């Protein structure tokens, strides 16, 4: 308790001038002890937090993969619904259409529109495998984390 | 005392030595473990907690020329069961009932898959629909299905259905390409798997923070084909119909763009369905071949075009050069062998006819006279220039070069010159024949046939530029020959098979079926080739029916050309000719 600095100036200044070398090592030692004492729980706290986040990320990535896969399945369904086989099946079976016996082709001088087929299942929308988390924090990272936390506390 | 003390000391010494020896042994073993065998034990320890996971690359997709997916890989869930985790019979029974109910399977069937001694998971059902997959996943998460796992697995899907099957090919159980483009471009489509290193705890569960990407996966390239799905489907439909109507045993149709060598559609019959779950059936291996490049045939009269092109190019004939068609020619084979007789297909003698009429009447004797003017050296040189006897280089497996017997061959005789000139005694692939005709449509330039327009991968799109092989004949020769071919199509016998509104250049062909014992009478390859429009061809077409009832190219294949050509003309907006024919 004697190592605690007085909150007021004046007479205390005189006391401090009288025995400065005795008190400073004590405070320093205490600070070191506090720091050392806080290091393991802080590290554990940070590691635990990172671990939880890691699992959370992994879970989200799994969910993301499921949704990407589902999206691709739907794209295949769309492509299937746009396939000529399906269109013909619908035209013949549902709409009762028949092939024209004498087709009449009228040619007009109009520019040919580009194919409006959307680029289904092309590159860009493909699922990526779950991206793994970074490598776990090192001791140096932990010390740096504690130092930063303490610095913020000051 | 002295003696006792000495004995005691000796014992102490002995004991000390023993301890020392043991200590030394321990230190030595420690040294051995820690130093001499350190690498071995380090490796063992690492193996104990370190795991390497392979991340599979996504297999590339195959698209048609307009970007419609023909073959794509998607992930579909599969349900597996691990017998080791279900040692309790009551639990196993409960899981079998619950899972069977979800999957619509008899619980007994599920129960029979549970082997308590088995460590590896056994697949219960794969390719689950999304809704069912969700229900199973939820049941697993709720803890209702111990020992059951669900995981996505790659599945090849064919959104357009079973079109272009021999071109696309298929995959085996190990996801390797086994036929067609899937085989030819297997390496490019597969990509490279990635690697992840991770660590596990004592219960063999992964420590998530220890994950490290060693190598990210490199997805396979997509293939964008020159094939147009509409053209392909139409060709398949028309071929199947033509085979049925003509009571043929098979056939093929191919469409190519002469200016680029791009194959727009290519089909053969009989074929198989790539989307069939039992795609590989023993005994049906021949169906998996891309017949237009793997099978050779005697082209028959279509080959007269090449003979005529040679004669025109060498200025030996003009369209109006007259030849005497006597209807029959005999060759003495010498050494007591019987003479070889060459006759016209209709056994008629046409008399003095022009070179154009040689093509119109498809005169064998007339063609022989033209070939005689050319001579064997130049004729076979031009066969070579047109690509016969060599692989075209198309991106399909199993291409054969064809069989061309030249004068260098000891078995060659002057009869070969005559028969080869009108397409007998020479074997070509349908692709070679079409490509040669396409060269005539491309003002004499032979292009390398291609079926892949672009490869799109992680490095971006790589277009496959059209590749010019060589010039076979001059533009003038090509144009002259096309005009002669227009006369062939415009002859009265083919009047009813004309494509309305389009000027077409073409030639029919009929060749006997060769067998090991000679030619089969009554069975033919009936074919027709066409360029449309004739003035500036956009399309080269080859149609062949195998053993049709009508036998001849003009009667069996020409009606198919009318239907196919009319559809293609409308689709590609090929303009009507000036006289509106």
B7 falls in which pLDDT band (50, 70, 90)? Answer: confident
Name the token pair of B149: 């796992």
User: What is the per-residue burial (b if ≥16 Cβ within 10 Å, else e) of A28-52?
Assistant: eeeeeeeeeeebeebbeebbeebee
The pLDDT of residue B471 is: 97
Widest pairwise Cα distance in chain A:
118
Name the token pair of A96: 């009762």
Contact B116, B86 (CB under 8 A): yes
- Virtual torsion, Cα B114, B118, B120, B122, nearest 10 deg: -20
Give B390-434 pLDDT, tens digit per residue. 999 999 999 999 999 999 998 888 889 999 999 999 999 999 999
Chain B residues within 8 A of A72 when measuring between CB atoms = 72, 74-75
Name the token pair of B236: 């398949």
Sheet holding B206-215, edge to edge: B50-55, B194-200, B206-215
Residues in chain A: 154
Whether residue B153 lies inside any domain: the answer is no
Whether residue B375 lies inside any domain: the answer is yes
Give CA–CA dist B294/B512, Å, rounded: 19
Give CA–CA dist B99/B122, Å, rounded: 14
Give B96-106 pLDDT, tens digit per residue. 999 999 999 99
Q: Which of B393-397, B537-541, B551-555 has the lowest mean pLDDT?
A: B551-555
B515 falls in which pLDDT band (50, 70, 90)? Answer: confident
Residue with tokens 């699992």: A55
**How many separate domains does chain B show?**
2
Mean pLDDT score, B550-579 = 86
B575 falls in which pLDDT band (50, 70, 90)? Answer: confident
The pLDDT of residue B21 is: 93
Q: Which of B291, B470, B456 is nearest to B385 (CA)?
A: B470
Task: Give the residue numbers spanning the domain of B344.
Answer: 229-571
The pLDDT of residue B207 is: 78
Give the percent of chain A with pLDDT over 90: 26
Q: Which residue has the higher pLDDT, A134 or A119?
A: A119
User: Helix or strand or coil: residue B268?
Assistant: strand
The pLDDT of residue B54 is: 87
pLDDT of residue A54 exceeding 70, the answer is: yes
Give CA–CA dist B533/B576, Å, rounded: 9
Q: Which of B505, B497, B561, B566 is nearest to B532 (CA)?
A: B505
- Virtual torsion, Cα B201, B205, B209, B214, nearest 10 deg: 100
The pLDDT of residue B421 is: 95
- Our CA angle for A79, A80, A82, nearest 5°, is 65
Give CA–CA dist B194/A22, Å, rounded: 62
Residue with tokens 């490796």: B43
pLDDT of residue B9 exceeding 90, the answer is: no
The pLDDT of residue A125 is: 41
User: Helix or strand or coil: residue B562?
Assistant: helix
Query: Which of B49, B209, B562 to mutate: most A Cβ within 10 Å?
Result: B209
Contact B502, B577 (CB under 8 A): yes
Instruction: Residue window 63-102, chain A: list those with CB within 8 Å of chain B.
Output: 65-66, 69-70, 72-73, 76, 79-80, 82-86
pLDDT of residue A8 exceeding 80, the answer is: no
Name the token pair of B514: 């060769």
A3 falls in which pLDDT band (50, 70, 90)? Answer: very low
Mean pLDDT score, A39-61 = 88
Q: Which residue has the higher pLDDT, B221 or A22?
A: B221
Which of A42-51, B198-207, B317-326, B406-415 shows the highest mean pLDDT? B317-326
pLDDT of residue B382 exceeding 80, the answer is: yes
Q: Is A49 on the interface with B (CB under 8 A)?
A: no
Report DSSP state, residue B33: I
The pLDDT of residue A126 is: 43
pLDDT of residue B477 exceeding 60, the answer is: yes
Give CA–CA dist B200/B49, Å, rounded: 5
Give CA–CA dist A43/B275, Å, rounded: 56
B213 Cα to chain A: minimum distance (Å):
7
Contact B76, B155 (CB under 8 A): yes
In this predicted complex, what is the ipTM? Answer: 0.80
Across chain A, mean pLDDT equals: 72
Q: Is B214 on the interface with A (CB under 8 A)?
A: no
pLDDT of residue B516 exceeding 80, the answer is: no
SS3 for B167-196, per residue? Answer: HHCCECCCCCECCHHHHHCHHHHHCECEEE
Question: What is each CA distance from B131 to A73, A74, B127, B134, in whole angstroms?
Answer: 12, 12, 12, 5
pLDDT of residue A154 exceeding 90, the answer is: no
Q: Is A24 on the interface with B (CB under 8 A)?
A: no
B265 falls in which pLDDT band (50, 70, 90)? Answer: very high
Q: Is B219 on the interface with A (CB under 8 A)?
A: yes
Q: Is B90 on the interface with A (CB under 8 A)?
A: no
pLDDT of residue B490 exceeding 70, the answer is: yes
Chain A residue with CA closest to B76: the answer is: A69
Q: What is the gyration radius of the CA atoms in chain B, in angstroms?
A: 36
Query: The dihedral of CA B157, B160, B166, B168: what is its sign?
Result: negative
The pLDDT of residue B116 is: 87
pLDDT of residue B66 exceeding 50, the answer is: yes
Whether residue B463 lies inside any domain: the answer is yes
Cβ contact B75–A119 (<8 Å): no
A134 falls in which pLDDT band (50, 70, 90)? Answer: very low
Q: Which residue has the higher pLDDT, B375 or B343?
A: B375
Q: Which residue has the higher pLDDT, B187 or A18?
A: B187
Whether residue B280 lies inside any domain: the answer is yes
pLDDT of residue B226 exceeding 80, the answer is: yes
- Say if residue B399 is in the same domain as residue B539: yes
pLDDT of residue A128 exceeding 70, the answer is: no
Q: Is A119 on the interface with B (CB under 8 A)?
A: yes
Q: Which of A63-67, B119-123, B201-205, B390-394 has the lowest mean pLDDT?
A: B201-205
The pLDDT of residue B79 is: 94
Mean pLDDT score, A44-73 = 88
Q: Is B217 on the interface with A (CB under 8 A)?
A: yes
Tally of CB atoms within 10 A around B359: 27
pLDDT of residue B173 exceeding 80, the answer is: yes
Across chain B, mean pLDDT equals: 91
Contact B164, B267 (CB under 8 A): yes
Whether residue B158 lies inside any domain: the answer is no
Whether residue B154 lies inside any domain: the answer is no
A24 Cα to chain B: minimum distance (Å):
41
Mean pLDDT score, B524-530 = 95
Tally of CB atoms within 10 A around B546: 22
User: Helix or strand or coil: residue B536?
Assistant: coil
Give B287-342 pLDDT, tens digit per residue. 999 999 999 999 999 999 999 999 999 999 999 999 999 989 887 766 666 778 88
Mean pLDDT score, B170-198 = 92
What is this structure's pTM? Answer: 0.81
- Say if residue B422 is in the same domain as residue B282: yes
Give CA–CA dist B174/B178, Å, rounded: 10
Whether residue B302 lies inside any domain: the answer is yes
Name the token pair of B155: 């599945």
B489 falls in which pLDDT band (50, 70, 90)? Answer: very high
CATH code at position B305 = 3.40.710.10
φ and ψ at B147, to 5 degrees? 80, 0
User: What is the per-residue burial (b if ≥16 Cβ within 10 Å, else e) of B229-247?
Assistant: bbbbbbbbbbbeebbeebe
Give CA–CA dist A149/B12, Å, rounded: 62
Whether residue B148 lies inside any domain: the answer is no
Report DSSP state, residue B427: B
Distance of CA A127 to the CA centre of its chain: 16
Q: Which of B559, B496, B511, B507 is nearest to B531 (CA)?
A: B507
The DSSP code sequence of chain A is -TTSPPS--THHHHHHHHSHHHHHHHHHHHHHHHHHHHHHHHHHHHHHHHHHHHHHHHHHHHHHHHHHHHHHHHHHHHHHHHSHHHHHHIIIIIS-----SS--------PPPPP----TT-TTSPPPPPPPPPPPP-HHHHHHHHHHHHHHH-
The pLDDT of residue B339 is: 78
Contact B438, B256 (CB under 8 A): yes
* The pairing of beta strand B250-257 with beta strand B148-157: unpaired
Give CA–CA dist B250/B548, Å, rounded: 8
Chain B residues within 8 A of A55 when measuring between CB atoms = 208
């Amino acid at each position: 308790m004697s190592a605690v600095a007085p909150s007021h100036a004046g007479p205390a200044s005189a006391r401090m001038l009288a025995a400065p070398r005795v008190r400073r090592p004590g405070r320093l030692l205490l600070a070191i002890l506090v720091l050392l004492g806080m290091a393991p729980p802080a590290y554990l706290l940070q590691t635990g937090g990172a671990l939880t986040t890691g699992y959370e990320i992994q879970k989200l990535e799994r969910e993301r993969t499921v949704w990407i896969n589902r999206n691709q399945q739907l794209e295949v369904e769309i492509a299937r619904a746009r396939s000529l086989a399906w269109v013909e099946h619908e035209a013949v079976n549902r709409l009762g259409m028949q092939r024209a016996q004498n087709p009449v082709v009228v040619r007009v001088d109009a520019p040919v529109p580009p194919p409006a087929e959307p680029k289904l299942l092309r590159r860009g929308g493909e699922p990526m495998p779950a991206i793994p988390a970074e490598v776990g924090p090192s001791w140096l990272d932990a010390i740096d984390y504690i130092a930063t936390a303490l610095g913020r506390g000051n | 005392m002295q003696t006792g003390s000495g004995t005691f000391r000796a014992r102490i010494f002995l004991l000390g030595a023993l301890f020392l020896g043991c200590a030394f042994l321990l230190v030595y073993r420690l040294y051995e473990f820690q130093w001499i065998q350190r690498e071995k034990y380090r490796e063992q320890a690492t193996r104990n907690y370190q795991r390497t996971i392979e991340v599979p690359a996504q297999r590339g997709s195959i698209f048609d020329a307009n970007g419609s997916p023909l073959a794509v890989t998607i992930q579909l869930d599969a349900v597996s069961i691990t017998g080791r985790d279900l040692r309790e019979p009551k639990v196993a029974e409960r899981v079998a009932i619950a899972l069977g109910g979800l999957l619509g399977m008899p619980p007994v069937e599920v129960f029979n898959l549970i082997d308590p001694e088995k460590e590896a998971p056994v697949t219960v059902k794969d390719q689950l629909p999304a809704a069912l997959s969700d229900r199973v996943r939820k049941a697993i998460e709720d803890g209702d299905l111990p020992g059951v796992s669900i995981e996505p697995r790659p599945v090849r899907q064919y959104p357009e259905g079973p079109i272009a099957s021999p071109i696309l090919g298929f995959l085996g159980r190990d996801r390797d390409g086994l036929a067609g483009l899937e085989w030819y471009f297997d390496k490019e489509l597969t990509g490279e798997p990635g690697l992840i290193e991770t660590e596990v705890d004592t219960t063999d569960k992964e420590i998530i923070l220890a994950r490290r990407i060693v190598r990210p996966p490199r997805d396979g390239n997509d293939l964008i084909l020159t094939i147009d799905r509409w053209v392909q489907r139409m060709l398949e439909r028309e071929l199947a119909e033509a085979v049925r109507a003509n009571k043929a045993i098979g056939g093929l149709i191919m469409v190519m763009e002469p200016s680029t060598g791009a194959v727009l559609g290519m089909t053969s019959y009989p074929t198989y369905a790539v989307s069939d779950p039992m795609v590989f059936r023993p005994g049906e291996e021949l169906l998996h071949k891309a017949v237009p490049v793997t099978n050779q045939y005697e082209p028959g009269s279509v080959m007269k075009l090449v003979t005529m092109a040679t004669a025109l190019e060498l200025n030996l004939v003009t369209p109006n050069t007259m030849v005497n068609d006597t209807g029959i020619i005999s060759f003495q084979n010498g050494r007591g062998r019987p003479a070889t007789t060459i006759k016209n297909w209709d056994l008629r003698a046409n008399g003095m006819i022009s070179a154009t009429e040689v093509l119109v009447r498809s005169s064998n004797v007339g063609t022989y006279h033209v070939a005689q003017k050319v001579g064997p050296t130049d004729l076979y040189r031009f066969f070579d220039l047109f690509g016969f006897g060599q692989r075209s280089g198309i991106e399909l497996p199993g291409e054969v070069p064809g069989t061309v017997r030249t004068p260098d061959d000891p078995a060659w005789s002057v009869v070969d010159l005559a028969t080869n000139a009108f397409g007998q005694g020479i074997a070509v692939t349908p692709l070679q024949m079409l490509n040669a005709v396409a060269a005539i449509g491309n003002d004499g330039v032979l292009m390398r046939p291609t079926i892949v327009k672009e490869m799109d991968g992680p490095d971006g799109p790589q277009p496959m530029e059209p590749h010019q092989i060589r010039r076979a004949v001059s533009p003038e020769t090509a144009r002259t020959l096309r005009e002669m071919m227009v006369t062939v199509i415009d002859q009265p016998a083919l009047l009813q098979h004309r494509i309305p509104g389009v000027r077409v250049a073409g030639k029919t062909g009929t060749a006997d079926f060769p067998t090991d014992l000679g030619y089969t009478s009554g069975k033919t390859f009936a074919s027709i080739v066409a360029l449309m429009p004739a003035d500036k061809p956009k399309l080269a077409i080859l149609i062949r029916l195998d053993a049709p009832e009508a036998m001849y190219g003009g009667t069996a294949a020409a009606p198919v050309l009318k239907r196919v050509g009319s559809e293609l003309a409308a689709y590609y907006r090929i303009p009507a000719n000036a006289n509106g024919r």
